Amino acid sequence: MCGTLRLLADACNDGQLTTAGASALVEALRESHQAVARCGVSEDKRPRRMYLPFSPGGFAAWCRREGILA
């Protein structure tokens, strides 16, 4: 299980974050990672590759399928 996604789902379940807010954060992370790749930063200076197990906008549905979001 991906740690960051689990933490976000737990925050939603605890009422500390809305699902929409968590989804927006995940999409911002996705976009920022892609922007670094587009701006010409050499491979050795880029952050470690990020893997998200769902398509854009799929955070909530993926969490529900995994049973980590109420």
Question: Helix 19-38 to helix 3-13 angle, to the nearest 10 degrees?
Answer: 160
Q: Report how many domains make up the chain.
A: 1
Mean pLDDT score, 20-40: 84
Mean pLDDT score, 18-37: 87
Give the C-alpha separation, 54 to 14, whole Å: 23
Asked if 23 and 57 touch (Cβ cutoff 8 Å), the reply is yes
| Confidence at residue 2, expressed as pLDDT on a 0 to 100 scale | 60
- pLDDT, one tens digit per residue, over 34-46 is 766 667 667 676 6
Average pLDDT of the chain to the nearest whole number = 87
Q: Residue 57: helix, strand or coil by DSSP?
A: coil
| Confidence at residue 36, expressed as pLDDT on a 0 to 100 scale | 64
Residues 6+ apart with CB under 8 A from 69: 9, 12, 13, 19, 60, 63
Range of the domain at 31: 3-66
